[in-house]
Amino acid sequence: MKITRILAYRLDLPLKEGRYGFSGGRSIRGYDSTVVRIETDSGVVGFGEVCPLGPAYLPAYAQGVRAGIAELGPHLIGHDPTELGVMTGLMDRHLKGHPYVKSPIDMACWDILGKVAGLPLSTLLGGRQGGAVQCYRAISQDTPERMTESVAFYRADGYRRYQLKVGSDVATDIARIEMVAAGLQPGEVLVADANTGWLSHEAARVVHAIRGLDIYVEQPCLGFEENLEIRRRTHHPFVLDESIDSVAALLRAHHARAMDAINIKISKYGGLTIARQMRDMCVAMGIAMTIEDSGGGDIATAAIAHLAHSTPEAFRFNCSDCNSYVALDIAEGAPRRVDGMIEAPSGAGLGVSPDMKLLGEPVISIQ
């Protein structure tokens, strides 16, 4: 089997809330998503999707995805997409860094492999483990009162886990955390996620002020050493996200006992191939995980669900249902959240069928 053509499509995915705000005054009003279609000489077609959370979150941006695919794509024509390790090495050889560019290509190759094998990706990624996967809801940064109202709204929609976007001025953040925590119901989980927004002295003030609350603290500061220092100042369970951007970073953080859980964003590692490695290493080292991506629609959510559903239940801290945030469905068969839970599709590969009319004309065509 050989790749004969690579197509990329650009999609604007409006947010249901209209706006999503997080630390440092950063916000977005919609997702600029890129869908990749890989065609083969056997007629099997695979799809992938990547969607950076704007250009100011991680070192990734939407136009960079498409520029990178245009650069990388010609080197992949004629190669076997089912040889996933070979494809990973090929992409790394021809494009240094930029893992987010490689993610939708890797995802599409997995989709092809699953279709050739006649198996869902959850089976290929280790096997379907347990029941549906618990999703969390990110609570966009706002006043303490409005964030508390948002939690109540999403509780009524079936969620039981909430990621509170903090990381602004300390007094307001403490008020946000305290007000939301006061209204939590039994069994609910709250994560205060600063998205690197605090300096170390600010993070120290926050964890001291909330020391009596049963919550998680996520990525308070930018640098690894700063986060490690805050970790040592608090008894709260600690989550790292932005700091864990490679296998080496994971090993370093584990050796330092820098966290209790990490967030695995598929595109941050270049696709499912490396994300699965990270997942399996976390299981071996006893680290809980949130399985997610920066954003996206139905295709990205299907990939998340497959990786999450093939993760042992004890290690699933959270899962993201990206397509619940957007007002546009782009594929049939995609996982849909029910009572705060999602399940991996049962069809071969990703198990989804993108709406080609909705995708429109490709912005990139390589053959």
Strands 161-165 and 30-40: unpaired
Query: In the structure encoding, which two tokens stand for residue 222, read together?
Result: 């930018």
Active-site annotation holds for 16: no
- Rounded to an integer, what distance in angstroms lies between the CA atom of residue 363 and that of residue 367? 14
Which residues neighbour 304 within 8 Å (Cβ) at sequence distance 6 or greater? 266, 291, 292, 293, 319, 320, 321, 322
For the chain, the residue count is 367
Distances (CA, A) of 9 to 70, 78, 302, 365: 12, 21, 18, 9
Residue tagged active-site, from 102, 115, 165, 268: 165
Residue tagged active-site, from 2, 16, 96, 265: 265
> What is the residue whose two structure tokens read 């990547």?
50
Task: Give the helix ranges, DSSP H, for the chain.
Answer: 62-72, 84-94, 99-117, 121-124, 144-156, 170-182, 200-209, 224-233, 247-255, 272-285, 298-309, 356-359
Query: In the structure encoding, which two tokens stand for residue 6, read together?
Result: 């690579």
Angle at the Cα of 260 from the Cα atoms of 257 and 265, rounded to 5 degrees:
110
> What is the residue whose two structure tokens read 């809801």?
137
Distances (CA, A) of 238 to 39, 182, 218: 43, 20, 6
> What is the residue whose two structure tokens read 């849909």?
336
Active-site annotation holds for 165: yes
Query: In the structure encoding, which two tokens stand for residue 131, read together?
Result: 């029941």
User: In the chain, what is the straight-line distance between the N-terminal and C-terminal CA atoms, in Å?
Assistant: 15
- Rounded to an integer, what distance in angstroms lies between the CA atom of residue 116 and that of residue 123? 13
Q: What count of Cα atoms within 13 Å lies in the side-chain half-sphere of residue 176?
A: 28
Q: What count of Cα atoms within 13 Å lies in the side-chain half-sphere of residue 343?
A: 11
Q: Tell me the catalytic residues.
A: 165, 265
